[in-house]
Amino acid sequence: METTTNILYLFGGVVAVLSALTVVGEALRGRVGPGRTNPVVQTFLTRLMSWWIMVILFTITALLGPVALMLLFAFASFAALREFLTFTDKRQADHLSLALAFFVILPLQYVFVGYDLTGLFTVFIPVYAFLLLPIVSALRGDHNRFLSRVAETQWALMICVYCISHVPALLNTKPEGDSGQTVLLIVFFVMVVQIGDLMEYFAGRRFGKRRIAPSLSPKTLEGMATGIACAAVTGALLSWITPFGIGAAAAMAALASVTGMFGNLVFAAIKRDKGVKDWSHLIPGQGGFLDQLDSAIFAAPVFYHVTLLMSG
């Protein structure tokens, strides 16, 4: 009951923030003047619209509880893997191993997370999928670009399944079985990473100067610093829903945010390499699931392990 109330409080808070941002966005659009558009403001508003939908969906899932969250992230993994593998190096000899990745490895990973089989879920993809899939591909006897094919498939699984599954794995970090508080921990994680990203994007474009990787991404030092600071403040303000104190919650939020931003940078490099602008067009204004999740993907395992350390 207390969890439900807390989720609804947070939902109210986020709705207030989104409403304020929407008002600001519309005001900025009004200032541009009729008949003209500012692409930064336009993107900001389209993104906000997607945000409204994602926030509502995520809130409903969090209210439904752990099983719903598990299914939500399993679906996110599926959508992300579909986007990633669309662009990786593959030949017909990989058909069976790719089918195994989608229909066996992905569901098994979430079953292991769901049943809290920590020993299995932490090694299943990095060790057993890593060994099994190249065997399946090799049995088809095609050596062309073999290493790059199996390596890119493994990368896809690590990123889209292994890393993402660390978000619902947070549900297992409370040994006493208080699932309510761990649901809130997921809400905390998602909120701080996304707020950091959003502020980094906006601050970077407003007053960012020094680019950290000019050939890859428009990310600037100033934008990142603002984003991380905003994430830390949000983390401190939300410390009451976490098992951490105020300072620790701020530090966790800053850590998740900075890891996420570098994850975003890594994805920018992959997209440049593969010649794609967005991974797909499933989320209006944001691109695909991977464009939306790239920072959470990188931040999740780090956040999970530090949480374990702090509660252990």
- Pairwise CA distance, residues 186 & 64, whole Å: 13
- Longest C-alpha distance within the chain, in Å? 63
CB of 79 to other proteins, least distance (A): 8
CB of 53 to other proteins, least distance (A): 17
- Pairwise CA distance, residues 303 & 307, whole Å: 6
Nearest by Cα to 169 from 81, 291, 70 = 70
- Pairwise CA distance, residues 108 & 192, whole Å: 29
- Pairwise CA distance, residues 252 & 288, whole Å: 27
CB atoms within 10 A of CB 306: 16
The DSSP 8-state label assigned to residue 144 in this structure reads T
CB of 82 to other proteins, least distance (A): 5
When the beta carbons of 116 and 278 are compared against other proteins, the nearer one is 278
CB of 308 to other proteins, least distance (A): 33
When the beta carbons of 95 and 210 are compared against other proteins, the nearer one is 95
When the beta carbons of 99 and 213 are compared against other proteins, the nearer one is 99
When the beta carbons of 268 and 282 are compared against other proteins, the nearer one is 282
CB of 152 to other proteins, least distance (A): 13
> Where along the sequence are the contacts to other proteins (CB under 8 A)?
78-79, 82-83, 85-87, 90, 92, 95-96, 98-99, 102-103, 275, 280-282
CB of 134 to other proteins, least distance (A): 18
When the beta carbons of 97 and 259 are compared against other proteins, the nearer one is 97
When the beta carbons of 94 and 197 are compared against other proteins, the nearer one is 94
Return the exposure string of 41-64: e unless at least 16 CB atoms fall within 10 Å of the residue's CB, then b.
Answer: beebbebbeebeeebeebbebbee
When the beta carbons of 97 and 194 are compared against other proteins, the nearer one is 97
DSSP assignment string, 64-97:
H-HHHHHHHHHHHHHHHHHHHHHHS---GGGHHH
- Pairwise CA distance, residues 298 & 197, whole Å: 13
CB of 263 to other proteins, least distance (A): 22
